Amino acid sequence: MMLDLIMKLFGKESSGSKNIAKERLRLVLVHDRVNVSPQFMETLKDDMIKVISNYMEINERDMEVNLTTSKSSVALVANIPVNRMKRGPMAMK
């Protein structure tokens, strides 16, 4: 808000086309970097399983991890069926 005001004061638009370029680049690179290596998602999944297994027992087979894109953001969406929660020191950490 404040910045917008200052920019208007100095006769500058807050969104020159470079900001559009930067934003588009940021989004496209999220996907590019994931897609460059076919193992990327698998490795991420394996690491997630390792961490989550400290806290709960999950159904690895039905686990889904994906990137979804909306107009202005990318989200990592994980659907991980939980079989049971763990009890004990690891879960208390």
Partner 1 sequence: MGEVLVITSGKGGVGKTTTAANLGTGFALTGKKVALIDADIGLRNLDVVMGLENRIVYDLVDVVEGNCRLKQALIRDKRYETLYLLPAAQTRDKNAVNPEQMKKLCEELARDFDYVIIDCPAGIEQGFRNAIAGATEAIIVTTPEVSAVRDADRIIGLLESEGKSNPKLIINRIRPHMVKKGDMMDIDDIIDILAIDLLGVIPEDEYIVISTNRGEPAVTHPSSLASTAYKNIVRRLCGENVPLMSMEVRTSFLSKVKKFLKL
**CB 34, CB 41: distance < 8 Å:** yes
| Nearest distance from C-beta of residue 13 to partner 1, angstroms | 7
| Nearest distance from C-beta of residue 23 to partner 1, angstroms | 10
50-73 exposure pattern, b = at least 16 Cβ within 10 A, e = fewer: eebeeeeebeeeeeeeeeeeeeee
Please tell me the number of Cα atoms within 13 Å of 56 on its side-chain side.
11
By beta-carbon proximity to partner 1, the closer residue of 16 and 81 is: 16
| Nearest distance from C-beta of residue 50 to partner 1, angstroms | 24
By beta-carbon proximity to partner 1, the closer residue of 18 and 61 is: 18
The site for partner 1 (CB under 8 A) is made up of 2-3, 6-7, 10, 12-13, 15-19, 21-22, 24-26, 28-29, 32-33, 36-37
CA dihedral 19, 75, 39, 80 (to 10 degrees): 170
By beta-carbon proximity to partner 1, the closer residue of 17 and 79 is: 17
